[in-house]
Amino acid sequence: MRLARAVTLKRSPGQAAGTGPAPAIERAQATAESARDGDAACAAGLGRWRELPAAQQPQWPDRGALAAVTTELAGMPPLVFAGECDLLTQRLAAVTRGEAIVLQGGDCAETFAGATADSVRAKLQTLLQMAVVLTYGASVPVIKIGRMAGQFAKPRSRPTEVCGDLELPAYRGDAVHGLDFTAQARRPDPGRLLRAYHCSAVTLNLCRAFTTGGYADLQQVHAWNQDFVADSPAGQRYERLAGEIDRALSFMRACGAYPSELRSVELYSSHEALLLDYEQALARVDPATGRTYDTSAHFLWIGERTRDIGGAHVGFTAAISNPVGVKIGPGTTPAGLVDLIGALNPHRVAGRLTLITRMGARRIRELLPPLVRAVTAEGTPVAWVCDPMHGNTLQAPSGHKTRRFDDVLDEMHGFFEVHSQLRTHPGGIHIEFTGDNVTECVGGSYQIDHADLHRRYETACDPRLNRRQALDLAFTVAESYRSPR
């Protein structure tokens, strides 16, 4: 993970100092200079979200224990730094100008058990493979953001779930309680917030090691594929592309050029800013600017269920200086979206706000155009990213929650069609995938049908694309960027 140097962050008088900002970070911070005064005012009111209605929060049984945990978290080192967040804002500003695209993906819900070297490497490998396909196919920089190192909490449509005669609280992620369907496991435990912090730190360290230790070198494109190329159409297609990249690299080396950018990767972390007590505890003030950052991740997003403009999640997110996203579902109105943009990016900072659409394959061509027109007319630069998964969930005859791969592709095609018609930039994709060959979504080049779902249905929450399906999607997206628009 080729990340920016650390910037000193202030939390308490006893906290150790970091190093000063590098020149690249100073340039990144300069992109938001015009918003500094407003951001400082926001920092002073960061805790005002507590005065607002907060949806999707656990019913912690012991508020004293929660207070003790958040106090401990408030003294912990930051997981990310202000300069890194500003650099990502600068990268996302290029997306708003049509000069780059976003690849954001990872687990639906991370688990504590999944914070292992093998699991993290498999997800990272899939993300890198997809990024190679997109970069080579679209011929623009790809900003890589993992749904990793913090995605330990999930919103739910219903507060409870039923199994047989037993009704218990719905699973809200390992940061809240356990997955086992027992009363004891489903009891919210604030001590799990500390474990979420430590698992996030472990995952970030692993990502840094993999992406700076030679694993992300483009010369490894064949090695990333050896374990599944023989029996996978997606793998065979990827191997052909890897051969083309090899020839290009050989030409560059013959010319005496092999820049460092080809040997490491800029990777950013993200998760849904759902558990506000946790996010508040990891908020830090950058003394160089007086601006406040949520140091739990580089990029935070607000979900479809928590984007109420008068709610606590919007209130909290408006007060931090990280680049942020918001999920935009079928119920979004043009006027409501314009108001939301004004609340989250009042100073119109390019790269600050990403709109992540999740309309469903059957409705995106109808519902997205008026939103794009309204945002374009309003004038604030935003990055448009498509989440083609959350609007296409269904229940299989077996009772498994699943998604049809064809529906995922169809929503992606609709997203590109709308932006082509309106002459706006389709800024990228946001997907749920795993590096394992699970059987959770049906379809893809290596056909999975409903009868296969039980074979490796391993998700803790929503169905994810497996590695082959993720690569299939990457090739389709790359072709969409290549097509004349």
Q: Dihedrals φ, ψ of 294, to 5°?
A: -85, 105
Cα–Cα distance measured from residue 469 to residue 457, given in angstroms and rounded to the nearest whole number? 15
Helix (H) or strand (E) holding 405: helix 405-422
> DSSP letter at 21?
P
Buried b vs exposed e over 119-149: b needs ≥16 C-beta within 10 Å? Answer: bbbbbbbbbbbbbbbbbbbbeebbbbbbbbb
**Residue listed under structure tokens 């052909």:** 240
Q: Higher confidence at residue 88 or residue 263? A: 88
- Least reliable range by pLDDT among 79-93, 117-131, 362-376: 117-131
CB 404 within 8 A of CB 443: yes
pTM reported for the whole predicted model: 0.88
**Residue listed under structure tokens 């990340």:** 3
Confidence class for position 231, pLDDT limits 50, 70, 90: low
Angle, helices 364-378/334-344, rounded to nearest 10 degrees: 50
Confidence class for position 282, pLDDT limits 50, 70, 90: very high
What are the pLDDT digits (tens) for 33-92?
433 443 444 444 688 899 999 999 999 999 999 999 999 999 999 999 999 999 999 999
Structure tokens at 101: 């695209």
- Indicate whether 6 pLDDT > 90: no
Q: How far is CA 246 from CA 95, 322, 474, in A?
A: 28, 37, 19
Amino acid present at 254: A
Structure tokens at 380: 């604030």
pLDDT at 463: 96
Amino acid present at 117: A
- Least reliable range by pLDDT among 91-95, 165-169, 201-205, 233-237: 233-237
pLDDT at 232: 67
Structure tokens at 485: 């628009």
What are the pLDDT digits (tens) for 156-191?
999 999 998 999 999 999 999 999 999 999 999 999
Give every CB contact of residue 61 below 8 A, 6+ residues apart in sequence. Answer: 187, 188
Structure tokens at 244: 């083309």
